[in-house]
Amino acid sequence: MMSEKDAVKGKILVSVAVVIEGEENKILLMREGDLPYHKYWVIPGGYVNPDETVKQTLVREGREETGLEILPAKFVGIYDDFFSENDEPIHHIIIAYEAIVIGGRIIITKEATEYAWMDSEEVLNSPQVPDIFKRIIDDFKKQKPTKRASRLKKFLTAHLALTKQFDPREEGTKNESRI
């Protein structure tokens, strides 16, 4: 329990960002239909529920916001965004992962009103992309290996993730879409 002297005014929110790279190294962005990034181009993602892990959130949010079935592949970074709502300060912590698409198709939702594939330079130079997402894409771009190594690594990572997902010997796994 927190003491009164340690209590602070405001909220701390934790969410994930699902970085999906498509053909020609283009990144999937969506036009946000919800706050706090309403009408801006953002990386798909959403808030972590109290009863799920970060990786479970990545899979759930990937499916809910894009219609795509994904597997978390590589940790990109942890990011801090600060804003306020109704005069209340909010510290928004975003945990970003690169994800591999294993199925599904892109859908339009209330939260994602439009989609676009953008190259990293387009993202970094767009006034319609919030700075927090520019930082994520910039870090993602800096971490990229060569093209040949990248394709092999993506394949091996997806294979390993699928193998772990259905391995009954691994503690805490079930034959369902929880990662």
Which of the pair, 159 or 123, is modelled with greater confidence? Answer: 123
| 98 belongs to a structural domain | yes
pLDDT at 156: 73
Q: What is the CATH number of the domain that holds 17?
A: 3.90.79.10
| 14 belongs to a structural domain | yes
Domain total for the chain?
A: 1
pLDDT at 84: 86
Would the pTM of this model clear 0.95, i.e. be above it? no
| 169 belongs to a structural domain | no
User: What distances in angstroms separate CA 118 from CA 19, 27, 47, 65, one per listed residue?
Assistant: 12, 5, 24, 17
Cβ atoms of 17 and 65 within 8 Å: the answer is no
Which of the pair, 71 or 8, is modelled with greater confidence? Answer: 71
The pLDDT of residue 162 is above 90: no
| 69 belongs to a structural domain | yes
| 156 belongs to a structural domain | no
- Domain range spanning residue 95? 8-145
Q: How confident is the model at residue 163 (pLDDT cuts 50, 70, 90)?
A: low
| 154 belongs to a structural domain | no
Stretch 102-123: mean pLDDT, rounded?
91
